Amino acid sequence: MAKMQENWRDIIADRLRERNKNESARFADIIHYNNRLFDTAAKLRQENLDLKIDKKIRDSVNVSGAGTGSTAFGTDVAAITNAQIQSLEKKVLAQQEELTDLHKRKGEHSQMVINLNQKLTDLQRLLAEKERALAEQTALALSLKEELDEMKASHVTIKDESLASQLRANTAEDKLRAVQDENTKLLNLLMEYKSRDAEIMNKENDKFVKEKKARIESELERAIRDIPGPSSIGADIDRFDVDGLPEGVEFKFDAHDGEVNAVRWSPIERIVATGGADRKVKLWDVGKGVCEQRGVLVGSNQGINSVEFDTTGSMILAASNDSASRMWSVVDHRLRVSEK
């Protein structure tokens, strides 16, 4: 960059020299003529001085000649000398006028030189300002170039980071897809296990119902044999799915806000589950001779139309009018499964 600045300075200096040469070429004749006039004036001054000396010599000779009595010869010499002196005086006057003209032209030329020097000074100052501005612009260009290089490096870094981020995002998407596939497989497996558990539970419930029905039928048969009466009672008694005939109302309570659609006894303890149109399943404890509410199972979107305990009495299943089945835990009353 320093070499470039030196080249610029040399170019500008050469241009200024060429411009000065071109500007002064139009005055070359005047300068040459001025120099000749100065030389002629100097020569004329010397001749004038010589003539003055010669005049003084002749004056002294004339004075000495008059003393010796050669009057005629002195008169001729004086006449010739006076004529020469007048001629020389005319030349001196012409030369003085020419010298005055030369002085005038010298003054004009001096003023022109002063103006040219002033212009040269202004141009040099302007050149210095231009060089200073050029240096500032060069420094600014260098700083901008450095910033541009830094921005290019930053752009490359950001681009590399973007590519790395894209690769990480693609890897994460692949992992997410793999996890989703695995979750789908696990969900399908869980549904299969639930289906199997439901089948096993249904089989156990069917088995329990059959055993209970067989036990009730056996007890009814024994009771019929012990009670005398028409034989037609045995044919109608199969319709009852109860342990015995009730003698009166043991409990009467308002279970739900609206209709009660389902009632089921727990298989292991004296707990009754009821389901109603208020979209709730309620558990009631009737083991202490009074009916106490033990819990409320919520989560259904429509009225409950069927409830059922599992064989262990720890879970309760309810079906609602929104074509959904839900399973709660009897212990903590939490909704475990909700499916349509």
pLDDT over 80 (residue 213): yes
- The residue ranking higher by pLDDT, 67 or 95, is 95
Helix (H, G, I), strand (E, B) or coil at 336: strand
Q: Which of 289, 291, 285, 240 is nearest to 265 (CA)?
A: 285
CB atoms within 10 A of CB 128: 10
Q: CA angle, corner 303, sides to 199 and 273, nearest 5? A: 60
Domains of the chain: 260-336 (2.40.10)
* Least confident among 1-15, 106-120, 264-278, 320-334: 1-15
Which tops the pLDDT comparison, 159 or 223?
159
With a cut of 70, say whether residue 73 has pLDDT above it.
no
Mean pLDDT, residues 156-185 taken together = 92
Contact indicator for 328, 281 with CB cutoff of 8 Å? yes
At residue 315, the pLDDT reads 92
Report the chain's mean pLDDT, rounded to a whole number. 80
- Asked if pLDDT for residue 238 goes beyond 70, the answer is no
**Would you say 277 and 296 are in contact if contact means Cβ atoms under 8 Å apart?**
no
DSSP, residue by residue, 298-331 = ---SS-EEEEEE-TTSSEEEEEETTS-EEEEETT
* Listed residue (298, 339, 334) closest to 322, CA to CA: 339
Rounded to whole angstroms, how far apart are CA atoms 50 and 287?
Answer: 168
Q: Write down the pLDDT at residue 246.
A: 58
Whole-number pLDDT of residue 66: 53
Query: Quick one: pLDDT at residue 10?
Result: 83
Convert the pLDDT of each residue in 114-142 to its tens digit. Answer: 888 888 889 999 999 999 999 999 999 99
DSSP 83-130: HHHHHHHHHHHHHHHHHHHHHHHHHHHHHHHHHHHHHHHHHHHHHHHH
Side by side, the strands of the sheet bearing 260-265 are 260-265, 271-276, 281-285, 292-297
The string of pLDDT tens digits covering residues 16-57 is 888 877 777 777 777 777 778 778 878 887 887 778 777 777
Task: Say if residue 111's pLDDT is above 80.
Answer: yes
